[in-house]
A and B are shown apart, each in its own frame.
Chain A
Amino acid sequence: EDKVVQSPLSLVVHEGDTVTLNCSYEVTNFRSLLWYKQEKKAPTFLFMLTSSGIEKKSGRLSSILDKKELFSILNITATQTGDSAVYLCAAVINTNAGKSTFGDGTTLTVKP
């Protein structure tokens, strides 16, 4: 059974802190890993990772994939209150439809 595990489940930090969110996966026929940010409503796309060791970066957010150890991390530096959200990780399997298995998410709360 395909499985994606995220840790920690929740995290409370203060503005300016740096956080690292973890995602490990066990899926058959892995193709890619995606990170999403979910605030009140629907998830919004952050990163797609397909190759090991290549960092993707967008502003204060960055992410990297390790296909040998089957995990990914999402880093957020200089956190702001607007970063408060649930961060979801999803592993995509190699099929026509690109089915995704999502983790439970990490709830990040950034306090002023």
Chain B
Amino acid sequence: EADIYQTPRYLVIGTGKKITLECSQTMGHDKMYWYQQDPGMELHLIHYSYGVNSTEKGDLSSESTVSRIRTEHFPLTLESARPSHTSQYLCAIGDKFTDTQYFGPGTRLTVL
């Protein structure tokens, strides 16, 4: 198990605003992931990282960007939010020795 935190938990924001979703962990895990999940739908990997200064795009095309300057933090940024970005965003960390991923509580984003 590992502690993983996401903030904010809920966010309602207007179109065109820049937003950053925070994800942090305390156990020094190298592998971190961002998923997007619409209600009742599957998880789509949008970004991942396997260490500081390493980030990759996932399978789902996304207008968001990520950074990994420190091991503990993996923030996701939307430069200009649109209603199509309305979704739940889940951050996960990968176990050091297995493929198990532990998920944060998620951020539910609504763009008006």
Chain A contact residues, CB within 8 Å of chain B: 2, 31-32, 34, 41-45, 48, 88, 90, 92, 96-105, 107
Give the interface size class of chain B: 20 to 34
Q: A45 is contacted by which of B50, B59, B102 (Cβ under 8 Å)?
A: B102
A88 touches B99 (CB 8 A): no
A43 touches B94 (CB 8 A): no
B99 touches A42 (CB 8 A): no
Q: Given that A41-B105, A42-B90 are contacting pairs, would A99 and B100 also be in contact in the complex, using a CB cutoff of 8 Å?
A: no
Bound: A99/B55 CA distance, A: 12
Chain B residue nearest in CB terms to A46: B100
Residues in B with CB closer than 8 Å to A34 are 99-101
Chain B contact residues, CB within 8 Å of chain A: 31, 33, 35, 40-45, 48-50, 56, 58-59, 90, 94, 98-106
A97 touches B50 (CB 8 A): yes
Residues in B with CB closer than 8 Å to A48 are 98-100
A43 touches B98 (CB 8 A): no
Bound: A97/B104 CA distance, A: 18
B45 touches A99 (CB 8 A): yes
A97 touches B94 (CB 8 A): yes
B48 touches A43 (CB 8 A): no
